Amino acid sequence: MRKFFRGKLFIFLTVICICLPHFQVNAAERVYEPDNDLVIVIDPGHGGDDPGTQGGRIQERFMNLITAQALAYRLNMYDGVTVYMTRSDNDTTLSLTERAVYAKSVNADFVFSIHYNACVMHDRFGMEVYTSRIAPYNGYGYQFGDLLMRRFEENYGIYPRGVKTRKGLRTEGDYYTIIAANIYRKIPAVIIEHCFADGNVDAVHTESDDQFRSYGETDADAIAEFFGLSSTSLGIDNSGASETLVSASTTEFNDMTYEDRTAPESVSISVISVNALENTVTLKIEGEESDGMMMFYEISTDGGWTWNDPKPWPDSDCFRGTYSGSFEVTLPFNTGDRPSIVVKGFNRYDAYTKSNKIVFMDKFDSRHLPLYRTDIK
């Protein structure tokens, strides 16, 4: 269905930036101070009877292991760190609690759980890191995740979705067992969802094993920078201050990891101009999300039956919590089209609000301006 738009819907953007209150990013102190015998556990997610997401080129358990092995190999090249893995083959089935018990048994200081993402509609994109809701763990994961996502955006152009938290269903603790079970044992843990294995947008990032390997190496370098580890053999010196760490609190919840489960307050569209000769419509799209941020949007030109691939909401910046309050797009049509346009605006937690509809009464025929209505819900 989505192919309908490919190549055809070429969107021209202009952006009016509304700068919302944001969080300044500066070089900051390391919030986690490792002792002399730092022990890191790398946890390749899934395995054995649990394949993880099957929406990608290969099952997630394979992707996770390739990344985790490259991560462990490179992290071992740093000085003063011991690295363990929860599994080293693809046949081992481990429960989430067993992974945390293992981490405790080797006296882990930190657990990094390695994953690739997927979603029901197979239409998401980007990277996210989950951290605990509980201090000080929340701050550790926030500072690390922020640093990691900056590297992935810079190195690979993988879209950052931010450091997130998720509340347990019946508790104030964490939803994800790999985080909760480690925190229970006083071990900080984060989940790294490198990108989406099952969508069109990130398909380019999951084409080869070499990509999965290099993500593991980038993970290792970010972990090393987070802890201030240096490597004689790699010639990397992280002993000084870091220029790229975000300041994070280890006593209070970090607002940038806030779980926003309510949909954006409003998303609306209006027509700026219709060009009858060129069969284009220029739209203004507006969105408001006061307890979070707008992150991406989808457009339908058939009244909501099919949707184009999601696009980043202009100026959406998960590092600062800012986005554009309004922007313009120009949609091309063909003679004979009678579009019915509607937009979904999504926040960082994939909750969306649908806009009003703009329904054209006439077909585009290059002779006269087609009439339309904008007030349809």
Binding residues for Zn ion, rule: CB under 5 A, are 45, 52, 115
* Closest CB to Zn ion among residues 115, 348: 115
Instruction: Please state the closest distance from residue 64 (CB atom) to Zn ion, in A.
Output: 7
Instruction: Please state the closest distance from residue 42 (CB atom) to Zn ion, in A.
Output: 14
Instruction: Please state the closest distance from residue 173 (CB atom) to Zn ion, in A.
Output: 20
* Closest CB to Zn ion among residues 47, 52: 52
* Closest CB to Zn ion among residues 178, 285: 178
- Residue that the structure tokens 């609306």 belong to: 268
* Closest CB to Zn ion among residues 196, 333: 196
State the Cα–Cα distance between residues 52 and 116, nearest whole angstrom.
9
* Closest CB to Zn ion among residues 115, 161: 115
Residue positions counted in the chain: 377
Max CA pair span of the chain: 77
Helix (H, G, I), strand (E, B) or coil at 255: helix
CA–chain centroid gap for 54, Å, is 19
Residue in 240, 204, 235, 209 with CA at minimum distance from that of residue 221: 235
Closest-approach residue to Zn ion (CB):
115
Instruction: Please state the closest distance from residue 62 (CB atom) to Zn ion, in A.
Output: 12
Q: Which residues pair with 63 in a beta bridge?
A: none
* Closest CB to Zn ion among residues 32, 62: 62
For 42: left if phi > 0, alpha if psi spans -120 to 50, otherwise beta; the answer is: beta
End-to-end CA distance of the chain, in Å?
23
State the Cα–Cα distance between residues 344 and 215, nearest whole angstrom.
31
Instruction: Please state the closest distance from residue 52 (CB atom) to Zn ion, in A.
Output: 4
How do beta strands 189-196 and 266-275 pair?
Answer: unpaired
Instruction: Please state the closest distance from residue 46 (CB atom) to Zn ion, in A.
Output: 6
Q: How many CB atoms lie within 10 A of CB 17?
A: 13
Tokens describing residue 17: 């930036």
